[in-house]
Structure formats: C-alpha cells, structure tokens
Structure 1
Amino acid sequence: MAEPDPSDPLETQAGKVHEAQNSDTDSDTEGGAAGGGEAEMDFLRNFFSQTLGLGSQKERLLDELTLEGVTRYMQSERCRKVICLVGAGISTSAGIPDFRSPTTGLYANLEKYHLPYPEAIFEIGYFKKHPEPFFALAKELYPDQFKPTICHYFIRLLKEKGLLLRCYTQNIDTLERVAGLEPEDLVEAHGTFHTSHCISPLCRREYTLNWMKEKIFSGTIPKCEKCQSVVKPDIIFFGENLPARFFSCMQSDFLKADLLIIMGTSLQVQPFASLISKVSLSTPRLLINKEKTGQMDPFLGMMIGLGGAMDFDSKKAYRDVSWLGDCDQGCLALADLLGWKKELEDLVRKEHARIDAQKGSGTPNPTTDASPGKSPPPAKESRSTEGERPQ
C-alpha cells in the first residue's frame, strides 16, 4: 500500500561508492590518484556485477518454462526453500478491494471522505491532523470480517510440506496469520493491523487487535489511555519507514531461496518490488497474476540500481514463468500438478468451517465461490518462443 523509501537505492549506492573511494585512496601508499582511480573502477565493476548480474553464472534449473516445469523442479531435491512475494491480488476473492483498479479499487471509492486526493487517507501527516477518514474506512475493511483465500492456504501448505522459507506480503489484512502462518514465517512489509501503537514518540504504548476493534466499531477515534494521543494500527503509511524486519530478513533470506513464487502484485511499489532481484541469478521465479509484471527496461534497472527484472518472452529467458489468471485458480492449478489439490481443497473447507464456528455464523465467504470444489481452467503460462491488484 504505502511507498515509503527508507533506503533510497541511489543515495545508498552513492554512499558506498564514496566510502570505497575514501578507503581505497587512503590505502594507496604509492601511485597517488592513478591508483585510487583504478580502485574506484574495480569497486564499480564489482558493484554492477553484483547488482545487474554481469559476469555471473546463469544456470538453467527448469527443464521447461511452464507450470509443469516448475512442478518438476519443486518435486526435485534442488528445491527445498521457497519464498512467496504476495500483494493485494491474493485477497480480492475474500471480498477485500485492491487499491488502484479504476472502478472497483479502494482509491476509486473514497469520495465520501472528502479527501484532498485519494492517497491522503494513508499519509501520516494527513492522518495526524484528520484521523477520522482512516478509521471510518477501517470499519468497512476490518480484517476479521474476511476469511483467507485459496492462495493463503496454498502458502500454508508450502509451510506444512517444509518448503516455505518466508512469505513477504504487502497486505495489511492479516489473512496470512489467520490462515495459519506464524510471525516467524512472515515479513509484513507494509505493516499489519495485528497490533497498534500510540503515535506520540514519547509514549508509544502498544494496544491489541481486540482493543482497536472495539474502538473502531464504537465509532470513536482510538485514543491512548496513558497520554490521549491517537492510536494507529501498525500499518505503514506514506511517510513512514518500513519495518526493520523487512531489511534484516531480506539480507539473509534471498540468497538461500531455491524458488520465488510471486502472486497478486503489480510489483510497482518500492522497495518491495526490488525483492525479485535479490535471489541468485539461477533461482527460478514463478508469477501467478492477472497480468505480467516485474518486467523492466534494462537501462532503467541500471540507473536505479535494480537488476534482475522478470524476463518471460525473450530468447534469453531461462528461469521466469508466468501463469496469467485468477490467483486462486493458479494456486489450484499448481497444487493439482503437485498432487496436492485435494489436500488444499480439504484444508480450505476445514479452516473456513472452523472460522465460521468461532464466529458463531455460517455466513459464506466470497472465496468459496472461486472455490475449492471447482477445477482450475487450463493454465495460461506465457512464454513467446519456446495479476494483481496493485497496492
């Protein structure tokens, strides 16, 4: 949702070059400026080699660039650690709107809040002055009104099979947690409704999901019981830094990954979108989405320091596969090929029944219309030579 940029790539890399220049120049005992210049060029060559994958080995691990090829790889000894990157498109079948679709997206339906512009509802500066629109919207979209989708339970199945290394999510709806993922399985890149904090920097008292729910549904602005400042759910607004966990896990996870599965995201929001470039150059990447995303002009990638754009269609394509269509159906198609389809369908039915029983209601979930009982349509993988919902 939010597009905070706590570590601007250009500033970060410029700082690295500057540090390297100082370090290399100071260490020259002879050769003066010429030696320093050569060291700078060595640093830049190494930097661009790392960032853009220049000169690195690109081993092809998929026997074909199709969903079937991904399936065979997942069933092999080579695939033991899977990272999932997910966005709003995996929650739309639960009844949660995406952000930017022209008529159905959240931003297109905020007129009643009389905002200066739609994104203001998620800007921290505007929120501090006018919290009312956000909390009115939060009442409409409160997490516990929805049940996880087939996609969420497919990720849980990856965990139960011992394959899930981590799920990185842009979503704030907590449905990954409801589906059975533990906090250690998750990186909630744009925060979560699960906890809330007082916005006063001198207080920062924490509040629970149930406390926040009571305030929101009573129609009152949540105020801190200690200092009377506004209490905000721990979702990342425009103007706020991403959680420290995002950066610490990113540093350790991606070079371990054997497979990247990307679902329901436009890959337009930074720095989340850059995660596709963090895996090794040999790591296969599967996109399950309504449209192809993550493709970037190579020159633009070099200018902003982001390599590893998705390549589905060129003659050089060797590791990227796209399945275009509804995310739930894509997960069912993959589960079917893996021999997990019945297990996934049973898990969805069992868990939805459990959630309904806890609520004391048998109200059907929109997800079941997409449903565990239906077979997926023919896979529409895309590769010429051989979707999401933006947040």
Structure 2
Amino acid sequence: MSTPSTPPNLDKIISSLKAGTTKKILILTGAGLSTTSGLPDFRSPKSGLYAKLSPLQLPYPEALFHISYFKHTPEPFYAVARARHPGNAVPSLAHAFLSLLERKGVLRFVVTQNVDGLEGDAGVSKDKVLNVHGTWGTQRCLKCRAPYPDVKMKEAILAGEVPICDQDGCGGTVKPDIVMFGESLPEEFEDVERNILPEADLLLVMGTSLKVAPVSELPRKVGASVPRVLINNERVGDFGARDIDVLLLGGCDDGVREIARGLGWEEELEALHREAVERKEIIAREEGWNDKEEGPSLDECIAKAAEKMKMRMGVSEGHRRMLEGHLGEKLRGILKRDT
C-alpha cells in the first residue's frame, strides 16, 4: 500500500525489486549526481558552471567544452579544471546507490555523461559503466598524440596552467581524454542502444538536463512497458508523458534515499557510502590532491584566469571580439546541433 509521500508507481517498482522480478536496471546519469561531491553542474541558473563564466568572456558558455575553441584557446578550460577536477571529490550517496544496486545483483549498466569517475570510486565495476564523455583518468597531446604523465598533469592543474607536451620539438597542448562538443562518442554507445537498452526492465535517470544528444534520446527509446524513474531537480525530456513514469523531483541523494528506505536498504546504503568516502579520501591524500576545503573555489579560479588572460593577451576586449568574429558563427551552428 502506498503512503502519501510515496508515488504509487514507485511502490510498484519497489515491490517488483523485493520480489526479484526487476533484475536489469539501466541507469543514465548527469552532472547532478556529483553536485554533493563538490562538483557544480552546468545549467543551474545561479550555481551552475555556465552561470559563472562571464569573467572569461567566452563567445558562448558551451565553448568552454568545444574542441574547436579548446584548440584555439585552452586557458578557460584549465581555469576551471582545478575546481572541477575529481581528484579530491568523494562519491555522493547517489554514487553509492549505484554500487549497492550492483551488489544486489540488479544493475544491468550505467551510462554516465560525467567525466569524474566517481562511479568507480563508489565501487561500481568498470565493465558496468560507460563514460560516454570520457574521463579525467588519462591525457595526451593534441598535436603528436603522445600520452602525458599523470604527475605533470596534476602539477599543471593545481597551478592553473595549460599543460604543454614534453616530447622533443612538439610543444602541443595537452588535453584530458574527455569527449568535448564536436568530438565523436565512443563506439560502445551504439552497443548500449542496440543490446543493453532492449534488455532493461527499469530505467533510472538521475541528475541530467537531457539537453545533449544523442544521450538525451535514450529515455524515449526504452520500451513503453518499461518503468522510468526520474530523479532530478526539475522535470526534463518527456518524463511524465507515460502513465507508469515516476518523478522524484529534488536532489539525487534524496531520491535514492527514498528508494532505499522503501526497500529496507537505507542503513546498508549509508554504510556503503561511508566506506566509499573514506577510501577516496585515502587515495586523494596518497596522490597529493588537496582537500577540497583547502583549494580555491570555482569563482576564484575563474577570476584568476580572467586576469591572467587579460595580462597575457594585452587587449582583452579586442581579443574577445576577434574570437567572436573568428569562431562565433561556427560555434553557434555546431553548438545548436550538439546541444
């Protein structure tokens, strides 16, 4: 029997999980999964990353993550790299929930748009996760494609500098192995659509605006009889259009806690989360990342980079106009297509 605080359709899903008839959960996650880990999302009106970028005078906020703009002007990307780098971020309760689902034997697969790798930090197996936008785990030179040492990458990020290839005679810009706008998604994404999506008996979408194609189309492609659960601050996509949809509007941690409570898993979830946080904190100390409280804030990183760019380029306003004239129209068309 449902309670006033629990949607009836969620009660049905919880009952199905308890009965063992739901066994293959497909999960799609976005930046909202990591906000309580200290990594801001992108599109929240006041706290999101895009809302904070004006000091950098980008042609468009999304240009920060476009490969064309990065090749021309990588400084803005690395301005926010320290504040957004997952080296000192710990898994959220929602990340731990993914790991708990795997332990219970009901997790089919996770498709994440995040590049922070916190699913793995929470204990989710690598073969259960597709990072469609890559990860911060490795990096290479854009010019000669040579791998770049992790230690030097960390030093550059902590200093707020653009890492430069150390191969003799190269001097190219180093880029983390993340997928930017204008780059192709990994081939494994097609396998998800072709083989994993049809198997799913429950779709859980967490912390995403569903504004970046083709990932945003996944919820529409799941079978009409498959329950879909959205955990997000607002309704997105076509959620609510199907009678069996469940909308848990709010933070991801609150949403997974409600599900875990209904399943009787809440204490186990909290314990798993504590273990994951402690494990990641040990790794962060061993690797030399500062505690997030000790590092500069995102606003401070952006302000510092804006000043450095102004001093280095001399005529900041003129440079901005030049960039908008040179790349603006091109980026406008590409970004409309990509987003």
Common fold by TM > 0.5 = yes
Pair 1:229–1:182, CA change in 2 (3 A) = farther
Distance between the aligned counterparts of 1:105 and 1:185, measured in 2? Answer: 28
- Residue type at the aligned position of 1:224: C
Distance between the aligned counterparts of 1:117 and 1:213, measured in 2? Answer: 27
Deviation readout 1:154-177 (Å, 9 max, x if unpaired): 001111111111111111222112
Distance between the aligned counterparts of 1:362 and 1:240, measured in 2? Answer: 31
Give the superposition deviation at 1:244.
1.6
1:179 to 2:122 alignment: yes
Equivalent residue, structure 2, for 1:127? 70
Root-mean-square deviation (Å):
2.3
1:223 to 2:152 alignment: no
Distance between the aligned counterparts of 1:362 and 1:215, measured in 2? Answer: 14
Pair 1:251–1:151, CA change in 2 (3 A) = same
| SS of aligned partner of 1:90 | helix
Give the superposition deviation at 1:65.
4.3
> Is contact 2:88–2:292 with CA below 8 Å preserved after alignment?
no
Equivalent residue, structure 2, for 1:346? 271
Deviation readout 1:86-109 (Å, 9 max, x if unpaired): 111111111211111121110111
Normalised TM-score (structure 1)? 0.67
From 233, 253, 258, the counterpart of 1:328: 253
From 50, 53, 57, the counterpart of 1:110: 53
- Residue type at the aligned position of 2:172: S
Give the superposition deviation at 1:220.
3.5
- Residue type at the aligned position of 1:163: V
1:81 to 2:10 alignment: no
Identity of aligned residues (%): 42
Equivalent residue, structure 2, for 1:149? 92
Between structure 1 and structure 2, the one with the greater Rg is 1
Structure showing the higher helix proportion among its residues: 2
Pair 1:212–1:326, CA change in 2 (3 A) = same
Pairs within 5 Å for 1:1-391: 65-200=8-143, 203-207=144-148, 209-226=150-167, 227-295=170-238, 310-312=239-241, 317-360=242-285
Pair 1:162–1:211, CA change in 2 (3 A) = farther
Pair 1:76–1:269, CA change in 2 (3 A) = same
Pair 1:151–1:72, CA change in 2 (3 A) = same
Name the stretch that deviates more: 254-263 or 239-248. 239-248
Gapped regions of structure 1 (runs ≥ 5)? 1-63, 296-309, 366-390
Count, aligned residues: 283
| SS of aligned partner of 2:234 | coil
Deviation readout 1:132-155 (Å, 9 max, x if unpaired): 111121022111121110000000
- Residue type at the aligned position of 1:120: A
Pair 1:343–1:208, CA change in 2 (3 A) = farther
Deviation readout 1:351-386 (Å, 9 max, x if unpaired): 222333444599699xxxxxxxxxxxxxxxxxxxxx
Pair 1:248–1:333, CA change in 2 (3 A) = same
Normalised TM-score (structure 2)? 0.77
| SS of aligned partner of 1:136 | helix
> Is contact 1:193–1:209 with CA below 8 Å preserved after alignment?
no
- Residue type at the aligned position of 1:78: T
Distance between the aligned counterparts of 1:143 and 1:210, measured in 2? Answer: 15
Distance between the aligned counterparts of 2:235 and 2:186, measured in 1? Answer: 28
Gapped regions of structure 2 (runs ≥ 5)? 1-6, 294-338
Name the stretch that deviates more: 209-218 or 332-341. 209-218
Give the superposition deviation at 1:183.
2.4
- Residue type at the aligned position of 1:347: L
Distance between the aligned counterparts of 1:287 and 1:217, measured in 2? Answer: 36
